[in-house]
Amino acid sequence: MAADSVFTYDATSWSVTPAMREAYDTNGYILVRNAFNQEEMDKVRSFVEGNQTIQEQAYSRDDGKDRRSRVTLWNHPGKDVLGVLARTERIAGTMEKVMGGHEVYHYHSKLIMKDARTGGRHVWHQDYGYWYRNGCLFPDMGSVFIPIDDCTKQNGCLQVLKGSHRLGRVDHVRIGEQLGADPERVEKAKEQLEHLHLEMKSGDVLFFHSNLLHTSDQNASERRRWAFIVAFNQRSNNPYKEHHHPQYTPMTKVPDSAVLECGEGTDLNGKWFIKLDDDTSIREKVH
């Protein structure tokens, strides 16, 4: 793993440093170890396991190899524990700073559930490969990957091509029920860029650029792999057309202490859940 992109969270001294910004700009990501403690992650885990609506709103897609992952997707953060987590200074504030300090807003969030022995793969892709279709002119966007369970090679951890965001947007083509980056282009990029398996513990956090090529394998293990992902867009990159994700919507950040202070944190009002048929950026015909 690229050591220059790995940092460790310290609640008493955390700040986004020039080294973090340089790592993000050069490698396309930063990985922050121990960003959330066990009590915080236990609260998140209890919520996603026990909330009936979060589970009922899930959809799945075939990965072309007889496996499926479940996804619950929503557009506004809401007031539940996941919405609070997404708006903390630790998440939204850090993302804003590594992206240059420009105001960001919540573009969408999702819970990806790769269950044991059945979880499907996600083909090589760039998030901006989808979001470009939504009227976002610039790749001034990024995602935060928060593992709820430990992510290992065995249960389908995230893989990236280090520095691949500097390739620019790669054309995406239909691969089974998914859209993926042009396989020929990906193979050529692999010849020049370091291919990393980003194994992470629950409580670690990955911040990555919207053009970073990434993938994940099937989960053939006996251990599930659930992860919470928050996508942010810069206010200045407000999409020029309406689509199934929000145009600029002001976001109120909250202190890091809010995760444990939000009571039951089960208020799902206003989240605007999205189903697979609503997601035009992955279902549009590719030419």
Q: Total domain count for the chain?
A: 1
Strands (E), the chain: 6-8, 29-33, 59-62, 68-74, 104-114, 122-125, 141-147, 158-161, 172-175, 178-181, 195-198, 205-209, 214-216, 225-234, 273-274
How do the pLDDT tens digits run along the chain, 287 residues long? 556 999 999 999 999 999 999 999 999 999 999 999 999 999 999 999 999 999 999 998 777 778 889 999 999 999 999 999 999 999 999 999 999 999 999 999 999 999 999 888 999 999 999 999 999 999 999 999 999 999 999 999 999 999 999 999 999 998 777 889 999 999 999 999 999 999 999 999 999 999 999 999 999 999 999 999 999 999 999 999 999 999 999 999 999 999 999 988 899 999 999 987 776 665 554 43
Residue 50 burial class via C-beta count within 10 angstroms: exposed 0-12, middle 13-18, buried 19 and up: exposed
* Cβ proximity of 116 and 122 under 8 Å: no
Q: What's residue 287's pLDDT?
A: 36
Token digits for 211?
A: 């053009």
Q: What's residue 286's pLDDT?
A: 40
Q: What's residue 275's pLDDT?
A: 84
- Which domain covers residue 210, as residue numbers? 3-283
The whole-angstrom separation of Cα 226 and Cα 149 is: 6
Q: Which residues are paired to 142 by β-bridges?
A: 209, 232
Nearest C-alpha neighbor of 108 from the set 232, 234, 214: 232
Nearest C-alpha neighbor of 146 from the set 86, 223, 71, 88: 86
- What secondary structure letter does DSSP report for 188? H
Q: What is the CATH number of the domain that holds 193?
A: 2.60.120.620
pTM: 0.95
CA distances from 225 to 119, 221, 234 (A): 8, 9, 29
Gyration radius of the chain's alpha carbons? 17
